[in-house]
């Protein structure tokens, strides 16, 4: 579930509070979390400073001089920074609650930094993975993932989006936005939000879009991320949006609630294998004409 905004919140917390600090110890509670070559273990990071943190789509990496950690939080991973020497931060899946005493029974890894700062990776479903590799191999490893441009990066241009969609003409829009080879970072929440902002039905085929609609979808992705990234992401718990911040998220987790644009009830349907929320009125499958929305509410309370 953690998507670009949630992983970016973790990256920012780590960048601001942990980069430059030296790792003094660690505890690996769930050994299967780590994937590594035979000659590399987490012992390699002890007594070394965290040099850098980076992100591409939903992938996050930490670089210590002898070892890089490539992290994917998958469905329910959560990263919490705490300790007396940092303000603290939390990002990722909202379960367990961020103020839970750590380690939690689902905590997989703790990394300790001098003088008293800790990074906890907790994952209630146990799908998250941390790949260890020499830092020099990180660029090639990332290239091998064949990710599309990060949705929040300057590389995600309108031209790149049009070109990538042109190679997926028979794909439904929801599946296209979930495809990390087209654009990296969107998942179930922000794909739904982008399609609602663009007023496009999630089951429409890429080939049915006009140039204007493709462009509208591109800018809708930017608009959604512009709201979600500063918030650290939407809060979706047990399939429900809680609590709404302003009106965000607009549709995801809001089945049965009125659309804030037109008042019709938000529907939920399985599209591309994922529970998909949309407004059948302003995201019509058969009438691609844009509906006016002069009463679109303010996005987020300042």
Q: Which residues bind Zn ion (CB under 5 A)?
A: 259, 261-262, 264, 279, 281-282
Catalytic residue among 2, 5, 94, 202: 2
Name residues whose C-beta falls within 8 Å of residue 222's C-beta, 6 or more positions apart in sequence.
none
Catalytic residue among 11, 21, 55, 58: 58
| Rounded-to-integer distance, Cα 92 and Cα 282, Å | 31
Tokens at residue 246, please? Answer: 């302003």
Which residues are bridge partners to 130 per DSSP? Answer: 34, 71
* Known active-site residue 274: yes
* Known active-site residue 213: no
| Rounded-to-integer distance, Cα 260 and Cα 251, Å | 9
Say whether the peptide bond before residue 96 is cis (omega within 30 degrees of 0).
yes
* Residue of 162, 182, 166 lying closest to 174 (CA atoms): 182
* Known active-site residue 287: no
Name residues whose C-beta falls within 8 Å of residue 208's C-beta, 6 or more positions apart in sequence.
288
Name residues whose C-beta falls within 8 Å of residue 107's C-beta, 6 or more positions apart in sequence.
29, 120, 121, 122
Query: 55 burial class (0-12, 13-18, 19+ CB within 10 angstroms)?
Result: buried
**C-beta closer to Zn ion: residue 109 or 259:** 259
Catalytic residue among 74, 129, 268, 274: 274
**C-beta closer to Zn ion: residue 64 or 196:** 196
- Residue 287 CB, shortest distance to Zn ion, in Å, is 13
- Residue 243 CB, shortest distance to Zn ion, in Å, is 21
- Residue 42 CB, shortest distance to Zn ion, in Å, is 49
| Rounded-to-integer distance, Cα 166 and Cα 154, Å | 20
- Residue 278 CB, shortest distance to Zn ion, in Å, is 9
- Residue 277 CB, shortest distance to Zn ion, in Å, is 11
Chain-centre distance for alpha carbon 17: 20
- Residue 219 CB, shortest distance to Zn ion, in Å, is 18
φ, ψ dihedrals at 28, nearest 5°: -100, 100
**C-beta closer to Zn ion: residue 156 or 248:** 248
CA angle, 87 then 151 then 167, to 5°: 160
* Known active-site residue 3: yes
Tokens 């329910």, located at residue: 76
**C-beta closer to Zn ion: residue 33 or 279:** 279
Residues recognised as catalytic: 2-3, 58, 274
């Amino acid at each position: 579930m953690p998507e670009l905004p949630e992983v970016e919140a973790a990256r920012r917390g780590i960048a601001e509070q942990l980069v430059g600090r030296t790792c003094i110890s660690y505890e690996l509670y769930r050994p299967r979390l780590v994937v590594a070559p035979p000659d590399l273990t987490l012992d390699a990071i002890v007594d070394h400073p965290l040099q850098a943190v980076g992100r591409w789509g939903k992938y996050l990496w930490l670089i210590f001089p002898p070892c890089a950690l490539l992290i994917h939080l998958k469905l329910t991973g959560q990263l919490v920074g705490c300790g007396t020497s940092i303000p603290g931060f939390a990002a990722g899946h909202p379960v367990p609650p961020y103020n839970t005493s750590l380690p939690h029974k689902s905590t997989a890894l703790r990394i300790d930094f001098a003088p008293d700062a800790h990074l906890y990776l907790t994952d209630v479903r146990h799908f998250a993975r941390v790949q260890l590799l020499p830092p020099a191999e990180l660029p090639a490893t990332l290239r091998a993932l064949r990710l599309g441009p990060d949705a929040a990066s300057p590389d995600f241009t309108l031209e790149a989006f049009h070109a990538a969609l042109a190679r997926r003409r028979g794909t439904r829009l929801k599946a296209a936005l979930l495809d990390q080879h087209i654009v990296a970072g969107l998942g179930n929440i922000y794909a739904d939000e982008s399609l609602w902002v663009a007023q496009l039905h999630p089951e429409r085929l890429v080939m049915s879009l006009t140039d204007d609609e493709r462009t509208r979808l591109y800018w809708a992705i930017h608009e959604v991320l512009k709201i979600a990234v500063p918030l650290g992401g939407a809060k979706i718990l047990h399939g429900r949006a809680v609590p709404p911040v302003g009106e965000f998220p607009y549709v995801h987790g809001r089945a049965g609630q009125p659309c804030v644009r037109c008042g019709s009830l938000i529907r939920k349907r399985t599209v591309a294998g994922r529970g998909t929320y949309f407004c059948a009125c302003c995201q019509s499958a058969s009438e691609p004409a844009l509906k006016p929305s002069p009463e679109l509410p303010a996005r987020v309370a300042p």
